[in-house]
Structure 1
Amino acid sequence: MASPFIEDPIEEGAQIVRRALRRERIFLDRSNPLDFADDYLYERYRFSRPGLEYICQILEPHIGRATRRSAALTVPQSVCIAMRFFTTGSYLYTVGDAERLSKNTVCRVVHQVASALTSLMDDFIVFPGHLPAHVIKQQFYAIAGFPRVLGCIDSTLIPISAPLGEDERDYIDQYNSRSLNVQMTCDHTGIITSLDAKWPGSVHDSRVFRESTLHHRLQQGHFSGVLLGDRGYALHPFLMTPYPDPEPGPQTRYNLAHNRTRVKIENSFSLLKARFASLRCLRVAPDRACKIIAACCVLHNIATIRKERAPCFNLQPLDVVDPINLEYPTGRAVREAITSEFFT
């Protein structure tokens, strides 16, 4: 009779296999997440392998220390997890399931990477751009003959769906949805040159601009040139808006050139949201949403500068503009001078 203390060798072997399989499911895959073809990487992260390696390189000083301390994720793994969230717009647990990680881990990694990218804003988001101002003006002029343009300005609504508490009414926009009102400017290539991503959706575009650092710098004469904006902005000597009721001839030609040039910012919004689908609806608190928006803008500029493949996109429906019909006399004088000199 066999002793009850002696295990069945076959059963013992089966238990060893089952334990090994359980360990394989629990432990992280240590393979290099960048060791795939560019098409595979682009589909998931919107960057080629060299582009992802560059992002890892610039973020390593910011997230590498935490990575070494926790010994849980490498820098490439952290970057790819965050990029997967930025580009898909999926729920955190969906990204976690795909990467075999918990929702809390994904949340922590996304926050770390977004914070690191946000800390690099001053390096990648600069006004009027990374080229000399006179080159930017020349390139804008080549589009439709509008002179002295340093950039195009507009705001876009980024929906958010996290609980907002007592301040929820502030975030209700003109479409009766909760959102952030995000102001950007761009150059002739679509690179984002300024960003203001802290305002609730109920705040008017003109106030966002009026309270911005960019407005104060332009008002103080730090730059020689003009922005192009729609009628949601006041007409300043440094911000040109269209004629509300243009007369045939020079005013109509001015408006046509203005519209053909200002479409650059609309293209930038559409491309940004096509590249980073998370911006179509952020399911996080407003403070974290602001960081994710800033992080995506930094990544958008990196992609544009490095000439990464751009996703196909259609122009997003324009937000309804609430004209403020405010024209400062100095702004009207500059607009008339431009019209008479360049569109007569």
Structure 2
Amino acid sequence: MASAARAGEGTSAAVGGAGSGSWWDDYSETKFKQTFRMRRSTFNLICDMLKSELKDPEKKVAICLLRVATRENFANLAVKFGSSPESCRKRCVAVCDAIWKVMLPMYLSWPDIVDLTKNTADFHLISGIPHVVGSMHTIHVPLNMNAHRSNPSTSLAPAEVFLNRPSSKNIFTAHSTLLQGVVNPQGLFIDFAAGSPGSMSDDDVLVRSKLYEMVNTGIRDLRGMWIVGTSGCPLLDWLLTPYPRPRTLPQHTLNDKIFKIQEVAKEAFSRLKGRWSILQLIDVKPKELYLTLGVCCVLHNICEMNGDEIDPSLKFHLMDDELLPQIADLTSKSAKKARDKIAEYLASCT
């Protein structure tokens, strides 16, 4: 991600700007950011980078951004942009496809060794725990099943699979999909797994993820490094999780330090879900679900890397509903010993 372009660096100065005849041309910078959740320069950057995939991208990008930022339905978007609802939907999907192809490799990718080393140093400053390269968290993204039922062609059958998993903090019957992500110390996504049914546990999502597969097959080498996970994830040789029932001072100390790292991911998800409110109730076709979730993560990184701070009032309050790991026999014995050593070390430093 170090090579990703920033707004104003080698981009056209007036993409979608004066002369394009768009209704947002006369918006002040403040109103523009309120509408599209990013500054005009970042909007221009996205349009400029997608020119190779989209003809006249400004209107299409605007439709897509309004859709993910405000959850505006396609009927209302059609009125705003002088088009049909289906045309708006197709344009939104086209922009998401283009972002996935062009911008995802630049803005959301696994760090190289230089960036991994920097991550470990930054996380060490945050927590005192050595060799941490990422912080993992999982959120529910509510599904608007009524929208799918009213249009059988978009059905997410069987609906029961997407019922939220039961927990002490999640007592209402609802449908959702899951988004699991790993962030760096700055809250930028470096990996994500999206689209699993809300009935699945965190460890279920993990073991089905590309990250788990790549680490276990050696394609992604995390030897001597940690990703910090939640209590819903198993303790692995590369995944450090808190003690489920801490009893000793070292165990409590380590958990406190882990929670500091977890907070980085939770804050990132709070900004993600607040900026892109489509993640507060999503109603896309099943084949577009994974694409939409991933594009929101990419757009999050683009905004954060370009200094587009989110309005604090938009931040979304996350509700934890973590359960202990549901899959037996995943916990690593060597990781248990390593976690104990880290706990003893941190306790000795206090």
* 1:178 CA drift (Å): 1.6
Contact 2:137/2:262, CA 8 A, preserved across alignment: no
Which digits, 9 at most, give the CA deviation of each residue in 1:3-45, with x for residues without a partner?
Answer: xxxxxxxxxxxxxxxxxxxxxxxxxx95044554311210110
* 1:31 partnered with 2:21: yes
- Counterpart code for 2:230: D
- Inter-partner Cα distance in structure 2 for 1:129 and 1:155: 24
* 1:314 CA drift (Å): 4.4
Which stretches in structure 1 are left out of the alignment for 5+ residues? 1-28, 65-73
Within a 5 Å distance, the mapping from 1:124-163 to structure 2 comes to 124-128=107-111, 132-161=115-144, 162-163=148-149
Relative distance call for 1:91 and 1:315 in structure 2 (3 A) is closer
Contact 1:129/1:193, CA 8 A, preserved across alignment: no
- Inter-partner Cα distance in structure 2 for 1:93 and 1:60: 26
* 1:277 CA drift (Å): 0.8
Within a 5 Å distance, the mapping from 1:236-315 to structure 2 comes to 236-312=236-312, 313-314=314-315
Deviates more, 1:156-165 or 1:293-302: 156-165
Contact 2:142/2:281, CA 8 A, preserved across alignment: yes
- Inter-partner Cα distance in structure 2 for 1:253 and 1:111: 47
- Inter-partner Cα distance in structure 2 for 1:157 and 1:58: 31
TM-score (ref. length: structure 1): 0.83
Greater helix content: 1
- Counterpart code for 2:341: A
Which digits, 9 at most, give the CA deviation of each residue in 1:32-81, with x for residues without a partner?
Answer: 445543112101101111111100011111112xxxxxxxxx31111111
Relative distance call for 1:34 and 1:114 in structure 2 (3 A) is farther
Contact 2:132/2:227, CA 8 A, preserved across alignment: yes
Within a 5 Å distance, the mapping from 1:185-224 to structure 2 comes to 185-219=182-216, 220=218, 222-223=221-222, 224=224
Instruction: Identify the residue that residue 9 of structure 1 maps to in structure 2.
Output: none
Aligned residues: 307
- Inter-partner Cα distance in structure 1 for 2:45 and 2:113: 18
- Counterpart code for 2:210: T
- Counterpart code for 1:287: K
- Counterpart code for 1:167: P
Which stretches in structure 2 are left out of the alignment for 5+ residues? 1-18, 150-154, 166-171
Contact 1:128/1:150, CA 8 A, preserved across alignment: no
Q: What is the aligned-residue RMSD (CA, Å)? A: 2.0
Instruction: Identify the residue that residue 38 of structure 2 maps to in structure 1.
Output: 47
Instruction: Identify the residue that residue 85 of structure 2 maps to in structure 1.
Output: 103
Contact 2:273/2:315, CA 8 A, preserved across alignment: no
Q: Find the residue that maps to 1:116 and give its secondary structure.
A: helix
Bigger-Rg structure (1/2): 1
- Counterpart code for 1:145: G
Relative distance call for 1:196 and 1:320 in structure 2 (3 A) is same
Relative distance call for 1:334 and 1:284 in structure 2 (3 A) is same
Instruction: Identify the residue that residue 52 of structure 2 maps to in structure 1.
Output: 61
Question: Deviating runs (4+, > 3 A) in structure 1?
Answer: 32-36, 128-131
